[in-house]
Amino acid sequence: MIVIENLSKAYGKTVAVEDVSLEIEDGEFFILLGPSGCGKTTILLCIAGLINVDNGEIQLGKTLVTSTKHSVNIETQKREVAMVFQDYALYPHKTVADNIGFPLKIRGMKKDEIKKKVNEIAQFLDISQLQDRKPGQLSGGQRQRVALGRAIIRRPQVFLMDEPLANLDAKLRVYARVELKKLQRELGVTTIYVTHDQVEAMTIGDRIAILNEGRLQQVGTPEEVYDHPKNLFVASFVGSPPMNLLEGTLTEKNRRIMIDTHMFTYNPKKEMGKRLVNAKTAEVVLGIRPEHITFVKKKREATFEAKVNHIELIGRELFVYVKRGEKSLVVITSPNQRLEVGNDVLFALDEERILFFDRKTGEALICH
């Protein structure tokens, strides 16, 4: 297990990481997700020992490798970690075999032993035929495998990966995601993976830690952070297209709770209305995913009218942007829907999937 407690790091007056605590299980594929500058790479470098922390502790297995409280800071070479970088950081003048075997060479291992282990790794990664080539003669996917091979050959306790697929084209990135997840499962090595790509995070991560401006926002499985975001940042960051978020005002009239979003007035069910009133805030945000809205022909509960403002065909899905007044939202539906810009439509909300947030604090008001 990797335990990070109260980790903080600043560069001058810029706070990169602020009081982050995490527990990562053995063998877990753990994702650090967030926008550029949120602190995810800084956390990775602190774990590796490539930068010193300002405050906090990091424990790898049973070994305390960093602690400002106990004045502990084990040097990088003695931490059982291996890093894979975005640019792969391969030696251009060395062959594939020499790049993979380099960590063993600097440990003083005999040439025959190195060659044997390099052959094993190259076969495992299906790059045996490339061993005599140099990085400049390889494709992006092949260079990525060489970088992985160099990390694997060390048999580390932890893999640290900093956006290793970012330089691949879209088609290869999808293939590489599948291969990387498969590889990690076969090796069983704890992996901490940095990315700003939410699709990447959702498809390969066992759990995801979402960061913003150096602060931890939420930790959970892909399903948890998607279906039950803890705050407005997570709700808006995770999902493509993002969650529809409509500011509203909660009022009570004739013992009926109403939320006016300025696009429509929603009347939550009785039990939900009570819970919202108990949250003791009138300024709310109603959130619903685009796939939890459907077009209907007849009015029913939670049905509203709007005008089609824009349509995007995305392969097997149709993104339909509807507008009423100054407010709009996006609906994901089937291309079989016969819709045209300018059409008046009825849409219904899946009431079981509606989320509510406090407009002032951004925190989720009700967890389903």
Give me the pLDDT at residue 191, please. Answer: 96
pLDDT tens readout for residues 184-206: 998 899 999 999 999 999 999 99
Q: With cut-offs at 50, 70 and 90, classify the pLDDT of residue 124.
A: confident
pLDDT tens readout for residues 314-329: 888 999 999 999 999 9
Give me the pLDDT at residue 275, please. Answer: 86
Fold of the 245-358 domain: OB fold (Dihydrolipoamide Acetyltransferase, E2P) (2.40.50)
Residues of the chain with CATH 3.40.50.300: 2-236
> Is 2-236 a CATH 3.30.413.10 domain?
no
Q: Is the pLDDT of residue 100 over 90?
A: yes
Q: With cut-offs at 50, 70 and 90, classify the pLDDT of residue 368.
A: low
Percent of the chain with pLDDT over 90: 76
Burial class for 287, CB neighbours closer than 10 Å (0-12, 13-18, 19+): buried
Give me the pLDDT at residue 183, please. Answer: 87
Question: Once rounded to an integer, what is the mean pLDDT over residues 88-115?
Answer: 93
pTM higher than the cut 0.85: yes
pLDDT tens readout for residues 222-270: 999 999 999 999 999 999 899 999 999 999 877 788 999 999 999 998 8
Give me the pLDDT at residue 367, please. Answer: 58
Residues of the chain with CATH 2.40.50.140: 245-358
Question: Once rounded to an integer, what is the mean pLDDT over residues 2-11?
Answer: 97
Q: With cut-offs at 50, 70 and 90, classify the pLDDT of residue 86.
A: confident
